[in-house]
Structure 1
Amino acid sequence: MTEHTPRRIYGADHDDSDPYATTPGHDVELVGGPLDGQLLDVTALTPRSAYGPGGRADYEPRPGCATRWDWSGDVPW
């Protein structure tokens, strides 16, 4: 049996009581690019990104796989 190391949810506050808590149907895995392997809670995600304008990496849902988002490139400043 392979041991699983919990992954921190990207963007979780440092004082969050459980920054590793996942919510089925709300978390996606980012694939490729600078955030490869990170989990992201998309519950309150807006079209501009979770933290407003100014992000540098763009990810899109993988066709046919709602739980994985693929890196589509860097976002210009």
Structure 2
Amino acid sequence: MLEQLVYSINTFLVHHPHLLRLMHLLFWVKYWILMGLIGLFVFLVYSEDHRRAEEKRQAAEAKSPGRFLA
């Protein structure tokens, strides 16, 4: 059943090459959107680590014996 569906889709696309080009374009658009999202999440992970390290450093400086916090 699934083979028949794939066969009919392939036959349709052979007779309509403009739709095949459109599918190719849409797959590339999807690829670049997913790569952008992955890049965004990687950036957020590394920027969060950097920000937390800065907060920890400031907290350690504030608790140093040379400073008094009221």
Normalized per residue, the structure richer in strand is 1
Normalized per residue, the structure richer in helix is 2
Greater radius of gyration (CA): 2
* TM-score, length-scaled by structure 1: 0.20
* TM-score, length-scaled by structure 2: 0.21
| Higher RCO (CA-CA < 8 Å; seq separation 6+) | 1
